[in-house]
Amino acid sequence: MKRLAYTFIILITLLLVSCTDLTTRIYDRIPADRYPENETQAALMLIPVFSPMQQFLDWGGWWFAQELTTDETVCPTRNTDWYDGGKWLALYLHQWSHSNNDIEAINSMWYWFYKGVYEANKLIEFLQPAADNGNEQAKLTIAKAKVMRDYYYWLLIDNYGDVPYITSFSHAPVNPYRNHRAAIWDSIVTDIESVLPLIPETGSKYTVTKGMAYTLLARLYLNAAVYTGQEKTEYWQKAEDYCDSVINLGIYDLEADPLAPFVTHNEASPENIFTIGYDENNYKGFNLHMRTLHYQSYLTFNMKVKPWNGFAVVEDFYNLYSNQDRRKKMFLVGQQYSYTGQPITDPGADNAPLVFDPHIPALVMRAGDYTLVQIRMSGARVVKFEVKLGATDNLSNDYPIFRYADVLLMKAEAALRLGDEATARSLVNQIRNRAGLPDWNVLTLDSLLAERGREMFWEASRRQDLIRFGKFGDAWWAKDADQEDKSIFPIPRWAIDANPNLDAEIQ
């Protein structure tokens, strides 16, 4: 996406320069059946289809809904900070319902997912005449737009269950009814599989490639029992087969360092398959470091701004990592130091040494009940995504949506569910060895889930994993067991007010 933005600027510049030569024949219009003529034009046309993803880590709500609803990440109320009307507590405690659905993250996701569907449908319809006339670039662009539309519908059925399924632009219904989740799952799987022959093996990690499409299909089949209500052997087998398809491309590989896929300017990582191409200046929206680091952490990273001191790791989850685990370096604990090596103190806590303690004494910590040190410094903080020296309030790290380590773990899970424990264990041991840990001699579903948690931390897969393993409704620190199914979110009230059919029986 970064490269596409720069390419667009270059194209405009060249166009303006060329127009100064009045003797040059100027093509101000390309016949519809010839457009797009090349890959650059096609990439520019696809930008609106991908653009909703820019919002996913911030006000789009997707990351919050996948992480703060789980047993790994928490946003405690720190005196008066981070209460924000209770929205962070409501996510963590699963306090949403169809009568109380004003939680910002849940409301925002719906808009951005359907924004992506809308843009994909518009582009597909615009290019269809050219494709019908044999324009190969139009056919390829339509195929990519369809996979992205299917990607957004996957997010919709994963988060909201039964939703409207619209594949037309000019003939889309004004007030569509919802469709069954299982039927949508079947449609999007069929749709992706039908265009696979057109999808290229190589290309930018910000667009659709065969690796991206195969991984999406693996995720769809791995969670098929959740979406369809039927657990079938063939679903696990198809999930494993599509993981093999990714592996057999020979394009992707594990980094030697488990944190290498998350460094600044990680676009060349062989481990990342499909990413959001954030850039601190040109494609903003990656500010998770601002939400987790302490106000004084700006001294550690020579930051130009002060972070907000919010999100932390649930202590029980932090304790899942042994001291030998190389991935544990993604957490900040203990005395904090400036980038010049000086101990940092906290003026807001009477200049006490800034020491991060993994123990969080309570979900809500008010002055008078807890010390300023407990309120302001409790909880391990997260730097899985490198915070470079001189960082701003936006990072230039690409955010991986699909990653090769996940493909190996998905294949392991599918193999284990199919009864092939040896293959599954071998794959999981690859991940463990990379993290500096010894082989396991036995692999169970519970131990696999724990390893997925350690490896995929902060990559927005935990909610989906807990649901698939039947553990999303369990009790964990400061959260009681759910009294009703919370595996899907309610459709936003604003959407129902605009379209009452969303509350009607499924058509």
Q: Is residue 333 part of a domain?
A: yes
300 and 175 in a common domain: no
Provide the residue range defining the domain that includes 337: 288-393
| pLDDT for 30 | 65
Q: What sign does the dihedral 105-107-108-110 (CA atoms) show?
A: positive
Between CA 415 and CA 242 the distance in angstroms is 12
Burial class (CB in 10 A: 0-12, 13-18, 19+), 23: exposed
pTM of the model as a whole: 0.94
Spatial CA neighbour of 489 closest among 468, 466, 463: 463
| pLDDT for 3 | 44
371's enclosing H/E stretch is none
| pLDDT for 97 | 82
Between CA 365 and CA 357 the distance in angstroms is 15
pLDDT tier at 33 (50, 70, 90 boundaries)? confident
Range list of β-strands (E), 159-285: 272-276
Contacts of residue 86, defined as CB under 8 A and 6 or more positions apart, other chains included, come to none
Q: Which two tokens stand for residue 328?
A: 């544990």
Mean pLDDT of 472-493: 97
**3-class DSSP state for residue 98?**
coil
Between CA 44 and CA 39 the distance in angstroms is 9
| Amino acid at residue number 390 | G
305 and 167 in a common domain: no
Q: Is residue 4 part of a domain?
A: yes
| Residue 12, pLDDT above cutoff 80 | no
355's enclosing H/E stretch is strand 355-356
**3-class DSSP state for residue 378?**
strand
| Residue 185, pLDDT above cutoff 50 | yes
| Residue 156, pLDDT above cutoff 60 | yes
* DSSP secondary structure code for residue 312 in this structure: E
pLDDT tier at 101 (50, 70, 90 boundaries)? low
Q: Do residues 109 and 159 touch, judged by C-beta distance below 8 A?
A: yes
| pLDDT for 99 | 66
Q: Is residue 492 part of a domain?
A: no
Find where tokens 């007010």 sit: 497
Q: Is residue 362 part of a domain?
A: yes
Q: Is residue 39 part of a domain?
A: yes
pLDDT tier at 29 (50, 70, 90 boundaries)? low
| pLDDT for 35 | 86
| pLDDT for 100 | 63
Mean pLDDT of 450-457: 98
* DSSP secondary structure code for residue 35 in this structure: -
Between CA 283 and CA 8 the distance in angstroms is 14
| Amino acid at residue number 391 | A
Mean pLDDT of 39-58: 96
Q: Do residues 165 and 67 touch, judged by C-beta distance below 8 A?
A: no
Q: What is the CA radius of gyration of the chain?
A: 24
Q: Which two tokens stand for residue 153?
A: 């519908």
Q: Point out the domain boundary residue: 135, 154, 179.
A: 179
129 and 8 in a common domain: yes
> Using N-to-C axis directions, what is the helix angle for 421-434 and 404-417, rounded to 10°?
150
Q: Is residue 208 part of a domain?
A: no
Contacts of residue 315, defined as CB under 8 A and 6 or more positions apart, other chains included, come to 358, 359, 360, 379, 380, 477
Bigger pLDDT: 422 or 1? Answer: 422
| pLDDT for 340 | 98
Contacts of residue 174, defined as CB under 8 A and 6 or more positions apart, other chains included, come to none
Q: Is residue 111 part of a domain?
A: yes
| pLDDT for 21 | 41
33 and 164 in a common domain: yes
Q: Point out the domain boundary residue: 348, 373, 393.
A: 393
- Phi and psi of 236, rounded to 5°? -60, -40
| Residue 7, pLDDT above cutoff 80 | no
Q: Is residue 152 part of a domain?
A: yes
Mean pLDDT of 179-204: 97
Instruction: Please tell me the total count of domains within the chain.
Output: 2
Mean pLDDT of 461-483: 98
Between CA 315 and CA 262 the distance in angstroms is 23
| Residue 88, pLDDT above cutoff 60 | yes
The rounded mean pLDDT for the chain is 93
Mean pLDDT of 134-152: 97
- How many Å separate Cα 443 from the centre of its chain? 27
| pLDDT for 98 | 74
Between CA 343 and CA 335 the distance in angstroms is 7
42 and 170 in a common domain: yes
The distance in angstroms from the start CA to the end CA of the chain is: 38
pLDDT tier at 308 (50, 70, 90 boundaries)? very high
| Residue 2, pLDDT above cutoff 70 | no
Percent share of the chain, pLDDT over 90: 91
Q: Point out the domain boundary residue: 341, 367, 393.
A: 393
295 and 156 in a common domain: no
Q: Do residues 273 and 376 touch, judged by C-beta distance below 8 A?
A: no
